[in-house]
Amino acid sequence: MMSKPVKLYICILFGFYLGFLGFALKGFGQIGSLFLVFLLLGFAFELVGFTISRLSNGVIRLTGGLVANILAATLIPTGQAILISSLTVITSGLLFVRNKDPYKYLFNISQIGLSTGIVSETFKILSTNSAARDMWVVLLVALLYMFLNSFFFTVVLSLSVPQSFGKTFLMTVRVPFIGAFLTLPIVVLGYVLYVYVGLVVIPVIFGAFLAIQLGNLYRSEYQQSKLENLKLLVKSLELKDSYTSGHSERAAQLSYMIAKRLGLPEKMCSRIKTACLLHDVGKIGVPDYILNKPEKLSNAEFEFIKSHSTKSEELLKTVSIFKSKEAKWVRHHHERWDGLGYPDGLKGEEIPLPSRIIAAADIYEALTSARPYREAFGKAQAIEIINEMAGTVLDPQIAQILIQIVTNGQFGV
């Protein structure tokens, strides 16, 4: 649920939007074929969007609205461009997002409408009536459009999470700017071709964007299928061993709760949860007789078990979005605070924070679960052991947060 400061911010933003729209509508002009063409183009570009992330509590959907809105802002009157962007974002929300919160609709209409209007007025001030020069102005205002979108959204996040505006902005701006590397050339090309050729070029622009979106969609689905395969491996591993059934899911939930208590951003908390869910996927290559052995493992068998963290890293690296972070986190989830862990013997804060969180959640969940070689520890015993591990095996701060969560009955029984 949105906080009161966020709702107030959205209402203020909507007020600015209405004021800007009222000012711009003075020069609206007659509704002609060009307005209708760009309106249809806006709807079409919204329809060919696709989901690029399903890793957090929601989804991120990338569309071609940027292309249509910037072309409209540079080629038709400001008031018409704002109306087109507003109508298309409402339609996209109703058809695809289907959110029932009116504040989210108000925010999307306001930030898209204001971004389009500001870009339109900026272009009109800087344009020179020379297509060769104005193509660079189009590129500039396209970057401005994305900056404004990210800025408006960053304010919402800053009012919702305990994180600096700068860090939140960098996190927010990453997705649109990455997507822009392919869409910005289409915006510039579309503008130049329209100036020299006219309306006949509109289907060409849409076709080029559609081809790029299909490529992005296939790449996104390919990466998603890899993630699903890794989750299937975890399930297969737990089906082979009834003692660890559900271990990864429970540890993942606990790691998420610890990350939230530390005040980490929602996106980071969700990524830590996903990494924890997959932290033992490398055990799929460990023979069953070692995993289920009731007696003490031999040195050779223990070395085999220890290799699962690096095997998990290798498997996560097959998913491009996990290469730089999650793969590294699972590699180090058996490092110790005192430096006596594996595989690299990292010590203290040398160990990535997410790895320290995963380690604590993993150990507590393992203690409270039955194993072939022992019965499950009760909550009180497990808390005592975690307390003893603080400062040696586990990060002492994380250990205390874990104990608070468990003691307050927020996790387990």
Kindly tell me if the per-residue pLDDT of 336 is higher than 90: yes
Rounded to two decimals, what is the model's pTM?
0.57
Q: In the chain, pLDDT over 90 holds for what percent of residues?
A: 28
Kindly tell me if the per-residue pLDDT of 202 is higher than 50: yes
The pLDDT, as a whole number, for residue 127 is 92
The pLDDT, as a whole number, for residue 384 is 94
What is the DSSP annotation of 267-283? Answer: HHHHHHHHHHHTTTGGG
The pLDDT, as a whole number, for residue 93 is 66
The pLDDT, as a whole number, for residue 294 is 65
Select, from the ranges 9-13, 94-98, 242-246, the one with the highest average predicted confidence (pLDDT). Answer: 9-13
* Separation between Cα atoms, residue 181 and residue 297, nearest integer Å: 53
* DSSP H or E stretch at residue 50: strand 50-53
- Residue 196: is it exposed, middle or buried by C-beta count within 10 angstroms (0-12/13-18/19+)? exposed
Mean pLDDT of the region 163-177: 64
* DSSP H or E stretch at residue 61: strand 60-62
Mean pLDDT of the region 40-61: 57
The pLDDT, as a whole number, for residue 179 is 57
The pLDDT, as a whole number, for residue 364 is 93
Kindly tell me if the per-residue pLDDT of 51 is higher than 50: no
* Separation between Cα atoms, residue 25 and residue 270, nearest integer Å: 43
Q: Which residue has the higher pLDDT, 19 or 189?
A: 19
Confidence category of residue 377, pLDDT binned at 50, 70, 90: confident
The pLDDT, as a whole number, for residue 162 is 62
* Separation between Cα atoms, residue 184 and residue 300, nearest integer Å: 56
SS3 52: strand
Q: Is the dihedral of CA 60, 63, 65, 67 positive or negative?
A: positive
Kindly tell me if the per-residue pLDDT of 17 is higher than 90: yes
Q: 332 and 355 in contact (C-beta within 8 Å)?
A: yes
Reading the block at residue 200, the tokens are 């006949």
Kindly tell me if the per-residue pLDDT of 255 is higher than 60: yes
394 phi, psi to nearest 5 deg = -110, 155
Kindly tell me if the per-residue pLDDT of 243 is higher than 60: no
Task: Find where tokens 């203020």 sit.
Answer: 12
Kindly tell me if the per-residue pLDDT of 97 is higher than 60: no
52 phi, psi to nearest 5 deg = -110, -5
Mean pLDDT of the region 105-126: 93
Q: Summarize pLDDT for 214-232 with one digit per residue, the tens.
A: 666 666 666 666 666 666 6
The pLDDT, as a whole number, for residue 50 is 47
The pLDDT, as a whole number, for residue 385 is 94
Confidence category of residue 111, pLDDT binned at 50, 70, 90: very high
All domains in the chain, ordered by first residue: 4-224 (1.10.1760), 242-407 (1.10.3210.10)
Confidence category of residue 57, pLDDT binned at 50, 70, 90: very low
